[in-house]
Structure 1
C-alpha cells in the first residue's frame, strides 16, 4: 500500500507541477506533510543535496523520499511516479504542439502560466529561507522580543558572502557551494 501511495503522490506532483523542480517543492512539502515520510528539516537537506547532485531536483528528492519510505523499491517507484507524467505529456503534446505552434491561444496560455510558476518558486524560496535563516523550532510566524535570538547569524553571513561572490566575481557556483559548506562547518 505504501508503494501505491508513493507512486500516486509523486505521479500527482509530476503531473500538476509546472516550472521544474523548484516549482514542485511546495507540492512535495504538502504530500510529505500528509504522509510524514521525512521531517521538514530533512526535506530542506534533501533539496540542498539534490541541487548539488547530478539530475533534476524533483527526481533526486523523489528518489530519496521514496527510499526513506520504502527502501530501494520505494525510491524506484517514487522516481518513476514523478517522471512518468512528463514523459507521457511530452509524447502527447509533441504531436499537437507543432500543428498549433502559431495559434494565439497557445501563446496566451503560456503567458498565463508564468505568474503561477513564479509564485510557486517564491513560495519554495520562503520555506527554504525560513529553515535556513532561523534557528530550529522557530517559525517566521512567531513573534519575539529580540530578533537576534531567532536569526542564525552564521547563515545570514554565509548567505551574504555567497551572494556577493556570485554577483561580483565569476567564480563557479559549485566552488561557492563548497566554500559555504566549509564555512558552515568551521563557524
Structure 2
C-alpha cells in the first residue's frame, strides 16, 4: 500500500501544473479510481485540507495517506507529492535563465493558463455539486450563486481584501439561512 501511495502521488506531483486547486480533480480521480475513498469522503478531505495551513494538494495527499496507512502513509504520500517538484525545480533552475526568454517557453506557459483555469473551475463546480450546495433552482441554490457572484464583484471590481469578502459572505449566510 505504501509503494502504491508513493507512486500515485509521485505521478500526480510530477504533472501538477497550476497549483493545488488545479490538481484536485486529478487527485480525486486517482483516489476514487483506486477505491481508496468515495467522492464524498474526498470532498471532506478537501474541506479539511483547504482550511489547514500549507498547500492544499500536499495536505490532501497527507490526509489520504493517513486515512489509508496511518502515519507512514501520510509520510510517503507527502514525499510522493513534493519530490517531483523538488527534482524539477533543481533541474530547471540550473538552466532556466537561458530558456526563460525563449519564445517557445513563453508560448508553452501561455498555453497552460486556460487549462489551469478550467481545472480550478471544475474543482469548484464539482465541490459544489458533491456537497449538494447546488442541486436545483431553489431559493437556497440561487442565493448561494448570488453570494458567489457578489463576492466576485467585490473581489474583482472593488478590489476588497478577500478576508473582508469572506466575513461579508458569512454575515450574508447568517442572515439568509438562520
* TM above 0.5: yes
Residue 32 (structure 1) shift: 0.8
Of 152, 155, 164, the match for 2:150: 164
Residue 154 (structure 1) shift: 4.2
Change (3 A) 1:165 1:16: closer
Q: Is the 8 A contact 1:38 1:68 kept in 2?
A: no
1:127-170 CA-partner distances (Å, limit 9, x unpaired): 112123246xxxxxxxxxxx45xx6x546545534653564484
Partner residue, 1:80: 79
Partner residue, 1:176: 167
Q: Is the 8 A contact 1:165 1:176 kept in 2?
A: no
1:124 and 1:87 mapped to 2: Cα distance?
Answer: 25
TM-score scaled to structure 1, two decimals? Answer: 0.77
Change (3 A) 1:78 1:95: same
RMSD of the alignment, in Å?
A: 2.7
1:29-73 CA-partner distances (Å, limit 9, x unpaired): 111112122221121122122222110000110000000010011
2:42 and 2:153 mapped to 1: Cα distance?
Answer: 28
> Equivalent residues in 2 for 1:5-154 (5 A)?
5-132=4-131, 133-134=133-134, 147=136, 154=140
1:10 and 1:177 mapped to 2: Cα distance?
Answer: 37
TM-score scaled to structure 2, two decimals? Answer: 0.81
Between Structure 1 and Structure 2, how many residues are aligned? 170
Unpaired segments of 5 or more residues in structure 1?
136-146
2:79 and 2:59 mapped to 1: Cα distance?
Answer: 11
Residue 96 (structure 1) shift: 1.6
1:43 and 1:157 mapped to 2: Cα distance?
Answer: 26
Change (3 A) 1:128 1:177: farther
Q: Is the 8 A contact 2:45 2:63 kept in 1?
A: yes
Residue 175 (structure 1) shift: 5.1
1:177 and 1:48 mapped to 2: Cα distance?
Answer: 20
1:67 and 1:49 mapped to 2: Cα distance?
Answer: 13
